[in-house]
Structure 1
């Protein structure tokens, strides 16, 4: 499958929706991608049996990405470092996360490096933590990993548990540029069918095309059909509350918050619990949708996604539920993304 300049708006919209309120600035990433087209997506089944695939992506405070723009060689630096450490050459790249800007950036990087880009990722949506990636979930582990930040520092995390890799990378980012490029050890192509979420980039592109095709001010039924999910509410945001979330070992966690709105269709109140992403939806106090399904908020008129850090009182929105990738509904993997994985004491709401 080939991505052309005409596909960029749809891809940008699709990955923004799958970001579930997180994932960073997709507009800037899409602008960078326009200089690297056309791009050919390689399906997992189309890789050579001996191909080695390197996962890459942006980590850290993605909001800083637009303030401290990349120099252009950060991904190349990270890939070269992981190649030197492992002694294996990369034949292709795979995104660590299809939701948000990481659904776009690795495509541009693969073009610049002359490598294939795999139509898959390690998340199937937007995720906040490295130890929640699919490779960690199936027990393959994150180490060794490389973190390359835009000022030129390169950190090699040679060993450690997935939680240690996550914690160490965050500490490094806090004392450097705020964001960096992550590269993980090459994955043999035959292992991707179990360790990745296949078809995620082409799926995001298709989702974006469907949503853009319905135009502005769609009905709830039209919007529901376009996203292949549900419209949980459509109304005006009444209140947005923000706080510091629970952390570990005495350290503060990610920012947490909640959004309250009235559903104009029946007058019910819908409350969204959020961290870096929208995590749980409750109607009149009863849980009606939750992670691992993708909860996303869009402007009611334009259908442009509204991120967790940008949502404000008074905005007219629609709250959507998009079905999770089958990888996350597998009972073996579900505990990694269920609400309790984020400190919310409730069972996951499955359709």
Structure 2
């Protein structure tokens, strides 16, 4: 199945990938505006793997501290530089693109790259949502190498990394971006389309567009239960944010912002507590764990219904807390441990919504 993206779809797509970000994945606003300018009156096709026989796909996206993108904007050449570098190293031309992750700005940045490079885009990615670490790419979890790969940063530096495992690549990426402005474009090796998508989450951006369209159809005064139902999720509570706590932790050698958000439900007075890192990880109601990663915990502004990022939520906000089903790919027992609460240092088993 193919999905066509036109200018009038971009607002819905931006909201959809933001929801798949589960409070993380970086600010989608800047890349949404870039995509709108680049697309213009044209269109972009989200292709199924079967629509691109013989293609060699490179998963591509932005890595590092995406929060600094507002200060150090892309020059426009980072994607092409990374793709050309990994093509030269492997001796195989990239003839199609897919995304590293569907949640947040990486649901949008590869679309810009596809338009700029004139390459087909296959609707598949390596997470199906947003998560913080490279060892949480589906390829890595399935036992496949993430190298060789190429990194390109805004001032023009480019490096190729090969013969390291996912943890080694994580360290290489963080070292590179720490010395070059905070972020870079990562392009993985061109891979036959069948192999590239067999260990990937397929159809995430089509889902994002559907979520965004459902969101656009909501009235801002809609009842909380109506909002949750329209988005295909579960309402966990709605009310005032009474406390936001943040502190730094070390996770796998990298510094992440760990914290929690407490919301008092205005109807029941139940306390909804959300454990956070880069994303919303675990939601508890009166101390009982209800929903966790890899399912999606989403916090919406009660007045505008716009998603609120982990880094943007503040005491006093009036919010709705929803849970949406996460990617089916992660629900198998041999995979979920890589992305469940314990993978983030939380002493809780995965808490998943019932499969529909």
Contact 1:238 1:260 in 2 (8 A): yes
- Residue 57 of structure 2 aligns to a residue whose secondary structure is strand
Unaligned runs of 5+ in 2: none
Q: 1:252, 1:160 → 2: CA distance?
A: 18
Please point out which of 110, 117, 131 is paired with 1:127: 131
Q: C-alpha offsets along residues 49-108 of structure 1, whole Å, 9 cap, x if unaligned?
A: x21000100111111111111000000000000000111111110010110111111111
Distance 2:50 2:188 in 1: 21
Aligned partners of 1:246, 1:108: CA distance in 2, in Å? 33
Cα distance in 1 between the residues matched to 2:118 and 2:309: 33
The Cα shift of 1:285 comes to 1.1
Shift of 1:204: 0.3
CA shift digits 1:8-40 (9 cap, x unpaired): 000000001110111111111111111332111
SS in 2 for 1:127: coil
Determine helix, strand or coil for the equivalent of 2:143: coil
Superposed CA RMSD:
1.1
> How many equivalent pairs are there?
348
Following the alignment from structure 2 to structure 1, what is the Cα–Cα distance between the partners of residues 107 and 130?
9
Q: Which residue is 2:48 aligned to?
A: 43
- The 3 A distance-change label for structure 1 pair 44 and 252 is closer
**Hey, what's the Cα distance between the residues in 2 that align with 1:252 and 1:210?**
37
Gaps (5+ residues) in structure 1? none
Decide whether the 8 Å contact of 1:121 with 1:197 is kept in 2: yes
Separation in structure 1 between the aligned mates of residue 145 and residue 232 of structure 2, nearest angstrom: 32
Q: Deviations over 1:124-182 (max 9, x none)?
A: 00110111011111111211111111011112111111111011111211121101100
TM-score, scaled relative to structure 1: 0.97
Deviations 1:226-274 (A, max 9, x none): 21111111010000000112334xx463110000110112110011100
- Is the Cα contact below 8 Å between 1:143 and 1:157 reproduced in 2? yes
Separation in structure 2 between the aligned mates of residue 150 and residue 163 of structure 1, nearest angstrom: 24
Q: Output the TM-score relative to the length of structure 2.
A: 0.96
Q: Is the 8 A contact 2:17 2:104 kept in 1?
A: yes
Please give the secondary structure, in 2, of the residue aligned with 1:160. coil
Runs of 4+ in 1 over 2 A off after TM superposition: none
Checking the alignment, whether the CA contact within 8 Å between 1:262 and 1:268 is kept in structure 2 is yes
Q: Which moved more, 1:219-228 or 1:234-243?
A: 219-228
1:11-30 residue pairs with structure 2 within 5 A?
11-30=13-32
State the SS of the aligned residue for 2:241.
Answer: strand
Alignment of 1:92-241 (within 5 A): 92-241=96-245
| Cα distance in 2 between the residues matched to 1:54 and 1:344 | 33
Q: Which residue of 2 aligns with 1:256?
A: 258
Aligned to 1:336, the other structure's residue is in SS state coil
Separation in 1, partners of 2:131, 2:24: 8
